[in-house]
């Protein structure tokens, strides 16, 4: 596990900083391909949901059963899963609903309240940083557990972060007129993911055993499922002009299933 630490940190950093891709798309692309975005977000949700239930939750259950016995292990798995959901839910509730950073806006959207855009952009950057903290830990731990699964989750998180970058860059750009300022606010918000990964790892490292890792995997599964249901799928449907979101969702599950079977 220790030999995967650098790989885990690198993938987590790349996933987090993909907010910069979103800002570049919003600031420099003349037209947003919303159908592609819808399919990509659906694909990410498919990958994360499938991995959460088939790999992370199941793997955590095995570890907890081996450490604590079948009955207690099963209860701890359930507790870890819903504990992860509770964690991300609490974080989500701390973000003002009217400034939800997951409602991405494109350059060609017609916005209102331009006098508040700069504040909205800054609050979005802060809120996304808070959200990215547990996501970074989840990605990091997934890579430590299984690099193949971790790479898939890192890609899914990266795709998920692109519209978040858009939601920061657009209001800051409209308010300030500076593409550079908008890009850097968006880019730097992604640093919360590697920071979250390092803090989580350093706090848990002295206690890591099968029992702790099992709880972490179950909690990560809960976090991933919540992100998919609360953020990815709704935003995928928002930009869906047909069935792109559902097709992407199924494709993500299919690709992940085939990959895991082939490399098992």
What sign results for the dihedral spanned by CA atoms 32, 135, 143, 68?
negative
Model confidence at 114: pLDDT above 60 = no
pLDDT at 180: 83
Residues near 151 by beta carbon (within 8 Å), at least 6 away in sequence: 11, 143
Averaged pLDDT for residues 145-157:
81
Which of 120-134, 150-164, 230-244 is the least confident region? Answer: 120-134
pLDDT at 65: 95
pLDDT digits (tens, 9 = 90+) for 24-54: 776 675 555 567 778 877 887 888 898 889 8
**pTM assigned to the model:** 0.69
pLDDT at 96: 53
Angle (CA) 238-240-246 rounded to 5° is 110
Q: What whole-number distance in Å separates Cα of residue 55 and Cα of residue 52?
A: 6
Averaged pLDDT of the chain:
78
First to last CA, the chain: 18
In order, the DSSP letters of 201-228 are: HHHHGGG-SHHHHHHHHHHHHHHHHHHI
Give residue 124's pLDDT band: very low, low, confident or very high (50, 70, 90): low
What sign results for the dihedral spanned by CA atoms 112, 118, 119, 123?
positive
pLDDT at 122: 65
Contact 81, 217 (CB under 8 A): no
Model confidence at 260: pLDDT above 90 = no
Model confidence at 160: pLDDT above 80 = no
Residues near 179 by beta carbon (within 8 Å), at least 6 away in sequence: 27, 28, 173
DSSP-derived secondary structure letter, 111: -
pLDDT digits (tens, 9 = 90+) for 178-230: 788 888 888 888 888 888 888 888 887 788 788 888 898 898 889 889 888 88
């Amino acid at each position: 596990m220790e030999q995967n630490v650098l790989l885990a940190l690198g993938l987590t950093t790349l996933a987090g900083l993909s907010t910069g891709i979103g800002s570049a798309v919003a600031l420099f692309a003349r037209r947003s391909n919303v159908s592609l975005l819808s399919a990509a977000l659906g694909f990410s949700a498919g990958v994360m949901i499938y991995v959460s239930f088939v790999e992370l939750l199941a793997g955590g259950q095995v570890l907890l059963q081996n450490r604590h016995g079948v009955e207690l292990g099963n209860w701890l798995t359930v507790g870890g899963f819903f504990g992860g959901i509770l964690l991300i839910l609490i974080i989500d509730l701390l973000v003002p609903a009217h400034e939800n950073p997951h409602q991405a806006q494109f350059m060609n959207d017609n916005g209102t309240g331009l006098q508040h855009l700069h504040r909205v952009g800054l609050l979005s950057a802060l809120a996304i940083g808070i959200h990215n903290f547990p996501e970074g830990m989840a990605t990091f731990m997934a890579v430590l557990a299984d690099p193949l699964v971790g790479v898939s989750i890192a890609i899914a998180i990266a795709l998920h972060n692109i519209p978040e970058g858009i939601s920061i860059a657009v209001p800051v750009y409209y308010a300030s007129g500076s593409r550079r300022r908008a890009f850097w606010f968006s880019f730097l918000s992604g640093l919360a993911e590697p920071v979250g990964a390092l803090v989580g790892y350093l706090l848990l490292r002295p206690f890591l055993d099968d029992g702790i890792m099992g709880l972490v995997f179950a909690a990560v599964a809960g976090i991933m499922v919540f992100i998919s249901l609360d953020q990815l799928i709704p935003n995928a449907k928002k930009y869906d002009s047909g069935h792109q979101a559902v097709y992407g969702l199924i494709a993500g599950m299919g690709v992940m299933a085939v990959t895991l079977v082939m490399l098992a």
